[in-house]
A = this chain, B = another copy of it.
Amino acid sequence: MAKHIVTFDIVREPVAVSTGTLLTEAAREAGLDIAQPCGGQGRCGRCAVQVTDGRVRQRSALRLSAEDVANGYVLACQAVVEGDVSIHVPPQETLERRLTTDRVVADIQIPSGYDPAVDQTLRRVWLTLPPPSMDNQTDDWNRLQTAVYQQTGVESLSISLPLLRQMGSVLREGGWRVTAVFASQPPGGSQTSGRLVALLPGHVPEDEPLWGIAADIGTTTVSVWLVDLFSGRVAQQAAEYNRQIRRGEDVISRIIYASKHGPAEMQALVLQTINGLVDRVCRRQKAAKESVLKATIAGNSAMIHLLLGVPAESIRLSPFVTAVNHIPLLTAAEMGLDIHPEAVVDCLPGVAGYVGADITAGVLSSGLDDSEQVSLFLDIGTNGEMVLGCSDWLVTCACSAGPAFEGAGVRRGMRATRGAIEEVWINGDTLEPTIRVIGDAPAKGFCGSGLISLLAEMFLTSVIDKAGHFNSTRPTDRIRQGEHGWEYVVVWGDEGHENGRHANGSPPHDIAITHVDVDNLLRAKAAIYAGFSVLADSVGVPLEMVERALIGGAFGKYINVEKAVEIGLLPDMPWEQFRFLGNTAVLGAYQALLSQKARERIADIASRMTYIELSADNSFYDAFTSALFLPHTELSRFPSVAVARLNHQSVQVED
């Protein structure tokens, strides 16, 4: 078959590929991994590349603007090689500014007083063994155990078969001087037993880092931090979309996929994602992957099950139980993580099918369990999980809010990627919107924060009423009967969006929000608010008594809190009581990676948390129904919103 030469401008060597090869595959051949958040389905537009010479055949250019097309942009996942071609690959990060912290290491605080000798389960020792002789014919393994015992007091050391196989040559290569790393076992047990994790010839320098990985396996995003276990320093961070996305956007569809097709593919996809990230952070740090000796992993229960190849079907079906909440310590080799094969892999414990290790780790890093203040911890991602509590008690629940706030279930919804409308302001008089779009791109649709903003603005300007009905009497042609009933047009397809700060093209269609969209959003926010209510009721604490709202996840980083309160998604409390903590799950995994005490605190959080199953809770439906209004049936729960609305209306009146 004919071969064609494909040249990528950021890769030294061109590659020769057959007719019909996708550009993404050609890129992989060339050692270049072009991000495909949508799994190569041509839906996200993130893999856009520019053809600078030659031609390709395109299956779809759905997500490209006319301008992009005119400039030779194609979607790499939809473009097929049919002849020699040269490709310009735009910088990936600029396309995806919200995919957090890749390349840039956020300033993560090392836990104060971190002392690896006390806190760390991994221990590195430098040993000098007496060489064997005719007077001392003991076996290598006994010789090594004796040296470890003499130096550390560890009496009982275990070893795996692969390490047994290497041991003899490492001892001899090092001239009976070796560096051993072992993990205390059980981690919280006595200091007298351990498992040998690595054995290196010679004495490695004391300042050579000992690497660990903290990771969070999100339904949407997988995050990996590379950590020096001795200093505690976070050396690298990387994040990437979970490659499972191509097999389903949410947890439920992935469980269904895995049940139908067996767990292997889902497991392989998430392993590819995490191993790709490990490779990335190690390359940047110029650290060998084999030098990573420990990994601590957070993630929701379904993601952890899929990662381990454990069937997750029971999570989906009533009574929604997991196979396992407290996962035994594993080795990297047995679970497929591409670091040192004997590395300790610690999957953090979850509580229930929909309250997983991302929440227990999140609670740890939020400090909720360590404070006398009653706090609400909230993680809104593809699902909404929340914890109410303090150092004395913890209750938790999960709302099947659906991924509306990630852009799903909304006609023009999308993820927070290039072209997403992330903020909307509506002029109270003209009802004309002003928008802010992600990336230097024409608007394509709404991401979660944009939807919250839009909903709040429509409510405050009476485009919709408190039940979410469109007010057709308002004087604007943007409120109209569309194909799907009443809707409000935010961006005209033929008008472009000169209101947008980054406008550089027109969308092919009008971008509107429909009454079906509004209903879906109301249901999603009502489910979350009802969750708060049920939790508070279950412990007899009124929501007003909650002293802090601790918001985890990427979601919290970008939403406009005021607007989230205005629609009744977040409880009405003063701004200063909100804390936005970012990826609390990976932060908790990081803390547990460093400190066995933190790790035990997570287990303690998991065992102390009372899980409330909302689908079995009689009060949930009432609370949900009451919350199906903007901001809520009982306006008294949202005093600040009442005031804001009044102000807005009076401003309008004054105008």
Please give the residue numbers on chain A whose beta carbons come within 8 Å of chain B beta carbons, in ascending order. Answer: 132-142, 158-161, 164-165, 167-169, 172, 263, 308-311, 313-314, 318-328, 330, 334-335, 352-353, 611, 613, 615-616
Q: Nearest Cβ in chain B — how far from A384, in angstroms?
A: 19
- Once A161-B308, A334-B161 are accepted as A-B contacts, the answer to whether A167 and B323 lie under 8 Å apart by CB is yes
The distance in angstroms between the C-alpha atoms of A162 and B322, with both chains bound, is: 16
The distance in angstroms between the C-alpha atoms of A98 and B555, with both chains bound, is: 77
Whether A137 contacts B308 by the Cβ 8 Å rule is no
Q: Nearest Cβ in chain B — how far from A621, in angstroms?
A: 15
Q: Nearest Cβ in chain B — how far from A654, in angstroms?
A: 55
Whether A325 contacts B168 by the Cβ 8 Å rule is no
- Once A134-B318, A169-B311, A314-B168 are accepted as A-B contacts, the answer to whether A139 and B325 lie under 8 Å apart by CB is yes
The distance in angstroms between the C-alpha atoms of A137 and B617, with both chains bound, is: 14
| Closest residue of B by beta carbon distance from A321 | B132
- Selected contact of A161 from candidates B134, B168, B330, CB within 8 Å: B330
Chain B hits for A142, CB < 8 A: 324-326
The distance in angstroms between the C-alpha atoms of A161 and B327, with both chains bound, is: 9
- Once A140-B323, A318-B134 are accepted as A-B contacts, the answer to whether A328 and B165 lie under 8 Å apart by CB is no
- Selected contact of A139 from candidates B167, B308, B321, CB within 8 Å: B321
| Closest residue of B by beta carbon distance from A132 | B321
Chain B hits for A327, CB < 8 A: 164
A-B contact pairs, 15 of them (CB 8 A): A136-B319, A137-B321, A137-B353, A137-B611, A138-B325, A140-B324, A141-B323, A141-B325, A142-B326, A159-B328, A161-B309, A164-B323, A165-B311, A167-B324, A168-B314
The distance in angstroms between the C-alpha atoms of A135 and B137, with both chains bound, is: 62
Q: Nearest Cβ in chain B — how far from A311, in angstroms?
A: 5
The distance in angstroms between the C-alpha atoms of A326 and B328, with both chains bound, is: 26
Whether A322 contacts B164 by the Cβ 8 Å rule is no
Chain B hits for A134, CB < 8 A: 318-319, 613, 615-616
| Closest residue of B by beta carbon distance from A313 | B168
Most buried by B among A135, A172, A328, A615: A328
Chain B hits for A141, CB < 8 A: 323-326
- Once A142-B326, A159-B328, A328-B158 are accepted as A-B contacts, the answer to whether A311 and B137 lie under 8 Å apart by CB is no
Chain B hits for A319, CB < 8 A: 132-134, 136-137
Q: Nearest Cβ in chain B — how far from A167, in angstroms?
A: 6
Chain B hits for A320, CB < 8 A: 137
Q: Nearest Cβ in chain B — how far from A265, in angstroms?
A: 15
Whether B328 contacts A140 by the Cβ 8 Å rule is no
Q: Nearest Cβ in chain B — how far from A185, in angstroms?
A: 11
Chain B hits for A310, CB < 8 A: 161, 164-165, 168
Whether B169 contacts A139 by the Cβ 8 Å rule is no
Chain B hits for A313, CB < 8 A: 168
Chain B hits for A353, CB < 8 A: 137
Most buried by B among A136, A169, A321: A321
- Selected contact of A613 from candidates B137, B167, B308, B326, CB within 8 Å: B137
